[in-house]
Amino acid sequence: MNFQHTLLLSLATTLPLANSLRAAESVQDAFRRGLLAEETTRDLKAAAEAYSEAVRLSADQRAIEATALFRLAECQKKLGNPTEATTTLQRLAREYPEQRELLAKIPANPQSKPSFELIDLAVLSKLKAKRDAAVSEYNEKVEEIASLTARNEQLRRYEGVAFAARVPAEYSNPELPRLSAEINQATIRRTSFGPDFGPQHPEVLRVDATIKALNQLMAEQKAAVLEKIDADLNQRMGQMKQLHQSAIRLREEMDQEEAKIKAQEDFLKSAAVPSAGATAAPSIPSGNPGQTAIFSEADLRSQIDSLSVELEVLQKLPDAAEQGRFIVSRHREQTSEEFRREVNTWAGRSKTTRTNQSWVQFESLVQVYMRPLEDRLRFAKMELEALQKQIAERAPWNLVIFGEVGRPGVLQVERGQKLTVSQALMMSGGPTPMADLKKVMVRRKSKDGKEETIRVSVDRVLNQGETSSDLILDEGDRIVVGRSSF
């Protein structure tokens, strides 16, 4: 008895498992036959039948079943049955929402092209990475130019030997050290003269003439070096502009990919079964995406806040020495070693010594380092203003419609779209049986701010086909559909 009981229990647990395994094998076998017919023998009809059988033999092989549905839709499309293909894809989106990688391959519009256009979500991610890299490189170039500009402004303050000693290696030439050595030798010779050598002494006059000539040659070398530095700076400015344009171009490509993905998502949503009583806010699609900035609004606001606080702190500091220390602490990599040395020198001196010409020059130098921060703040504000303007230009406007319509309330109208009164009525659920279509009123504000009422006979448009009587609506219009007295 115990043996029979054990045998029955074993059969009870083993048979369903065996049936399940056979069902899984049947699904996989049907799917393989579909692949063989589609890819090898090119028999689309046989492939479609095999894929349909794989779906029908549902055995909790959801990944295989979902793939079979997708391939079935491809076969139906190639066989000239776009309606069936659309229905199959909608079923795929509705019944297999967890198959995200497969759903990402669903085309935005299955009937628009002779074959499916697969939308790869990774494209957008790659574009975003490229765009972020371009923006980062652009920001680095801005910082580099700001640092070079400050260094160049500082370099222009020096003359003669002091200038030659501070010229960066990449801009130096053999003439600078040679002239510096000769000027130093001539200066030493000049200071070595004793009291017997008056200012008109022939030897003094000769050495003074030599020093003057050498300084003139040094001035010419300085002009040549500064010209080379300015040309290099202009080249970097050109590179910065190119990086800016590249970032904008990548942003536009991102917009195009996002538009494709949005269309794909809209298609997926159309496959879902709406809940009872749910109504979506009516909206008219826009065909004018407009331009976009390379920074988001949040990025720009963050930059503006950070720069504003930084400049406010700088302006509240008591003197240029403290301002210089603050700049070095926040932007050390963008400051020169000489600037940092001067900051340390002046920070260690008594305030009573900060009255000579050197202090005035140091104050001017600190202002030079503050200028890029002010420029960046101004640039960020300009970018934010442009972005906000673009957003405002693309934002939909609200059309208020009330009275005898099925769904009185607010319609969102995308900018650039031509919407007539009759279209607005139909989007609001259409006129009620009590509506007086001969006396539909449009209230509109004129240029001087006064409100005027325009009477529109929608009855002629809907019942007699007189489209010329239909009024195109403007932003700010309100529609009132009155009640008939009969």
Average of per-residue pLDDT across 97-124: 56
Per-residue model confidence (pLDDT) at position 109: 47
Do 444 and 454 meet the contact criterion of CB atoms below 8 Å apart? Answer: yes
Between CA 84 and CA 154 the distance in angstroms is 74
- Go through the domains of the chain in sequence order and give each one's CATH number: 14-118 (1.25.40), 122-271 (1.10.287), 297-392 (no CATH), 397-483 (3.10.560.10)
Q: What is the dihedral of CA 140, 141, 144, 149, to 10 degrees?
A: -150
Between CA 225 and CA 231 the distance in angstroms is 10
Residues 6+ apart with CB under 8 A from 389: none
For residue 440, the cross-strand partners are: 456, 481
DSSP helix/strand/coil, 438: strand
Per-residue model confidence (pLDDT) at position 280: 33
Residues 6+ apart with CB under 8 A from 58: 27, 65
* Confidence band for 476, pLDDT divided at 50, 70 and 90: confident
Mean pLDDT of the chain: 75
Per-residue model confidence (pLDDT) at position 124: 61
Take residue 286 and report the two structure tokens written for it.
């826009």
* Confidence band for 479, pLDDT divided at 50, 70 and 90: very high
- Determine how many CB atoms are found less than 10 A away from the CB of residue 29: 14
Do 449 and 318 meet the contact criterion of CB atoms below 8 Å apart? Answer: no
Per-residue model confidence (pLDDT) at position 294: 53
Which of 6-15, 126-135, 424-433, 462-471 is the least confident region?
6-15
Residue 113 has pLDDT above 50, yes or no: no
Per-residue model confidence (pLDDT) at position 132: 74
> DSSP state, 41?
S
Proportion of the chain above pLDDT 90, given as a percent: 2
Q: What is the pTM of this model?
A: 0.36
Compute φ and ψ for 278, nearest 5 degrees.
Answer: -75, 135
Q: Smallest Cα–Cα separation from 150: which of 386, 349, 24, 339?
A: 339
Between CA 46 and CA 418 the distance in angstroms is 49
Do 337 and 151 meet the contact criterion of CB atoms below 8 Å apart? Answer: no
For strand 451-456 and strand 478-483, is the pairing parallel, antiparallel, or unpaired? unpaired
The one-letter code for the residue type at 52 is S
For strand 478-483 and strand 397-403, is the pairing parallel, antiparallel, or unpaired? parallel
Do 65 and 96 meet the contact criterion of CB atoms below 8 Å apart? Answer: yes
User: Could you tell me how far CA 55 lies from the centroid of its own chain?
Assistant: 42
Compute φ and ψ for 451, nearest 5 degrees.
Answer: -90, 135
Do 477 and 443 meet the contact criterion of CB atoms below 8 Å apart? Answer: yes
Residues 6+ apart with CB under 8 A from 34: 46, 47, 48, 49, 50, 51, 54, 68, 71, 72
Per-residue model confidence (pLDDT) at position 271: 43
One-character DSSP codes across 402-423: EESBSS-EEEEE-TT---BHHH
Between CA 302 and CA 385 the distance in angstroms is 14
* Confidence band for 121, pLDDT divided at 50, 70 and 90: low
Tell me which H or E stretch contains 211.
helix 202-271
Average of per-residue pLDDT across 68-81: 88
Do 444 and 477 meet the contact criterion of CB atoms below 8 Å apart? Answer: yes
The one-letter code for the residue type at 471 is L
One-character DSSP codes across 94-114: HH-TT-HHHHTTS-S-TTSSS
In the block, tokens 């501070």 appear at 166
DSSP helix/strand/coil, 440: strand
Average of per-residue pLDDT across 62-76: 85
Proportion of the chain above pLDDT 70, given as a percent: 79
243-297 per-position pLDDT tens digit: 777 777 777 777 776 666 666 555 544 444 333 333 333 332 333 333 344 566 7
